[in-house]
Structure 1
Amino acid sequence: MEYNTTRNHLAMREYGRHVQKMVEHILTIEDPERRQKNTEAVIELMGFLNPHLKNVEDFRHKLWDHLFLIADFKIDVESPYPTPTRETLRAKPQPIPYPKRSSRFSHLGKNLEDVITKALAEQDPDKRQGFANAIAYYMKLAYNNWHKEVVHDDAIQSELNSITDGQLEFTNTPYVKAYRMQQENTKSNFGKRNKYQQRNGNTNNNNGNRRNGNSGGNNFKKKRF
């Protein structure tokens, strides 16, 4: 009997012990042609064992890389893809630099500032007006989310004038449902639901008392003399 403690390290568990033994057997084959055919057969088997890799772009390239990894990069076969090495496997990717940009109006965000810049560069009057209306709606929505209160359109227009130096002016009235109104409606619905549940609960209790012979909530047993 062979125990796991006596076996060598399993390189990739998702392929199992049998695939690793096949790869180890391929390493002992001296005939290059026979070794190449056996390797291609193992690649097909690895694809059957992991069908989810077929949805991955260049999944066969990934299978060949896994084969070299299982073989500890010691297998001598012809791969249709660049042969990976131990150094490329352990190489760390280059860090992505964090975007360093500051917004003049941090409470509105950098994306809205980019939209305002695009709106100011727009030459078509209709599109420019559409940009202004969309910007005003977002500004009112952001104010409502942060301050939890209704803001007047004059305050939005005043802030938009200070941002764009009076170049953008919205014509619509951006309607944003107030946060407090949402809370009041939620509380009101919750209270109605509780009253409805209590009323139904009392009705059910009264019905149960009637079925059990309880009248008025008191149950008097008649004594026999």
Structure 2
Amino acid sequence: MNDNIAQIHTTRESWLQAAVHALEPVFSKAGFAIPPVKLSCGWPASSSPRSTLGQCWPRERSGDMVNEIFISPRLEDPVEVLDTLVHELCHAIDDCHSGHGQDFKDIAHCVGLEGPAKSAHATEELKVRLMMIAERLGNYPHKAIVFPPPRASNQQRSKARCGQCGYEVSLLKKWESMGAPICPKDNIRMEEVGVSIESALSPEEEQARKEKDREIKRAVC
């Protein structure tokens, strides 16, 4: 078969399995053998599905005693899928024993990943190779699942503050009608302080802030 002709895959699992075969030279050149793996497109068992791009399970957790790898349904770009798959295969090689520790870092570095261990991704050199592999594999038969925007919180969030010492508490909406509580220090009724949602971050801004503050997790093992 002509390697330059793009393959046609009707299932995501078929594409991913072919991808592992295509990635074998990348790992063998670095001195590593890819163990038997099962691959699926699916959400991680833990962590946030919004940020976890892949997950590898150790062999002891599989009834077939093989590493099971899941690629997030958020991904549809073939190169991004391959990039994440390389990361997860690094976990499979050491059977998830080191997590994102030194053994994982050594494997990842040797095969061409860079950056913090939890979000290790392809170097520019490896990315070029992944693009070539993606071209041979053909279209990844999957369209990304898009999360809805985070729900907006209540239009009015109330707090109560002591006018004397500044002690402050948040008020649950269902208790607001009963009025502000008594300050435990000064024994006087506190004053209600409304905080409108417009003065806080919007849901989109809050989500962006959270995603910026934490590294994208590619695996929890």
TM score, norm. by length of structure 2: 0.23
Q: Which has the higher strand share?
A: 2
TM score, norm. by length of structure 1: 0.23
Task: Give the structure, 1 or 2, with the largest relative contact order (CA under 8 Å, sep 6 or more).
Answer: 2
